[in-house]
């Protein structure tokens, strides 16, 4: 598993397999916990891909679910991969536990579709814009912890320019209101808008604006979100099911059921229909920059 992707994908793959075999064996979570002398929470966390998994635990669970020796061996291999660490682990508490999964999935994705309703998305932020956001959200934080949080955000942005694995496609739609909402002062905001224009020149980056005059898209209640699609190897299924990430003040939702993803794809389709094209979006961003300079 590549260093920057870390253990996220194998953890999720292993968890899905263990849940599948438990269900096929007709074993409930409570029954599995009792038989294995584990807590129910431990099995739930393993099945959700929320932590490294011991080979010993995989062996015990496979025996309980009567999994074939060949599949058990394959899952033991996945368990070993769950112990690898991505770059974000070096930043400790600067990356909240609930956000680690998103950073790992983001690193593994082939295509990101992101709607920014209230702020410029993290992957598109400048240093000073990110610092301005963190100062608002964490007014009592030390300069050191703020600097570390900003550094994590800037490190995440490297995935847009990496060579190996291939950089993902990043398509974003930004509400026009985001471009008018000043963060960190006029100079910071002007530099941020200029940064958007620079990023939009990259072949793998698309930045479009949803004008206020267009009205809300279908599914507007969803707010900001990201749809992550994962690589598809020739002749195989994607390494991971498409996942929707939606962040809140104290946590996040990770949605990967087919009907959930379909609902967000429908909202994205509405955004796609209402948003300006890339050239029109650049013109609007430049106009807003000009207005900011003359205010």
The H or E element spanning position 224 is none
Ramachandran region of residue 212, left (φ > 0), alpha (ψ -120 to 50) or beta?
alpha
Edge-to-edge strand ranges of the sheet holding 111-116? 205-210, 169-175, 111-116, 225-229, 243-247, 252-255
Token pair for 179: 């471009």
Residue 77 predicted with pLDDT over 90: no
pLDDT in tens, 143-162: 999 999 999 999 999 999 99
Instruction: Give the predicted TM-score (pTM) of the model.
Output: 0.80
Q: Which CATH architecture has domain 8-81?
A: Orthogonal Bundle (1.10)
Most confident listed range (4-8, 84-88, 243-247, 250-254):
243-247
DSSP string across 95-115: S-HHHHHHHHHHHH-SEEEEE
On average, the pLDDT of the chain sits at 90
Residue 208: the pLDDT is: 98
Average pLDDT rounded to a whole number, residues 49-78: 90
Where do the structural domains in the chain lie, given as residue ranges?
A: 8-81, 92-294
Residue 107: the pLDDT is: 86
Residue 3 predicted with pLDDT over 80: no
Of residues 160, 193, 184, the one with CA closest to residue 281: 193
Q: Quote the radius of gyration of the chain (alpha carbons, Å).
A: 21
CATH number of 92-294: 3.30.870
């Amino acid at each position: 598993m590549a260093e920057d992707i870390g253990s996220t994908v194998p953890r999720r793959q292993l968890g899905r397999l263990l849940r599948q075999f438990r269900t096929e064996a007709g074993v409930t979570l409570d029954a599995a916990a009792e038989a294995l002398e584990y807590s129910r929470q431990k099995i739930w966390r393993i099945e959700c891909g929320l932590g490294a998994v011991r080979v010993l635990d995989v062996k015990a669970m496979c025996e309980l679910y009567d999994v074939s020796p060949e599949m058990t061996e394959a899952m033991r291999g996945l368990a070993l991969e769950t112990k690898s660490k991505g770059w974000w682990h070096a930043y400790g508490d600067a990356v909240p536990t609930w956000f680690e999964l998103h950073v790992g999935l983001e690193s593994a994705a082939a295509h990101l579709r992101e709607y920014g309703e209230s702020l410029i998305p993290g992957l598109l932020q400048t240093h000073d814009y990110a610092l301005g956001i963190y100062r608002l959200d964490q007014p009592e934080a030390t300069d050191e912890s703020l600097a570390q949080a900003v550094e994590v955000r800037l490190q995440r942005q490297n995935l847009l320019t990496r060579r190996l694995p291939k950089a993902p496609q990043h398509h974003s739609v930004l509400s026009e209101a985001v471009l008018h909402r000043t963060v960190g002062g006029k100079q910071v905001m002007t530099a941020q808008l200029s940064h958007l224009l620079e990023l939009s020149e990259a072949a793998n980056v698309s930045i479009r604006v949803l004008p206020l005059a267009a009205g809300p898209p279908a599914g507007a209640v969803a707010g900001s979100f990201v749809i992550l699609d994962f690589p598809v190897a020739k002749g195989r299924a994607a390494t991971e099911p498409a996942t929707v990430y939606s962040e809140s003040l104290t946590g996040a939702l990770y949605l990967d059921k087919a009907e959930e993803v379909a609902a967000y794809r429908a909202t994205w389709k509405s955004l796609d229909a209402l948003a300006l094209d890339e050239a029109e979006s650049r013109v609007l961003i430049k106009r807003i920059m000009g207005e900011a300079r003359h205010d």
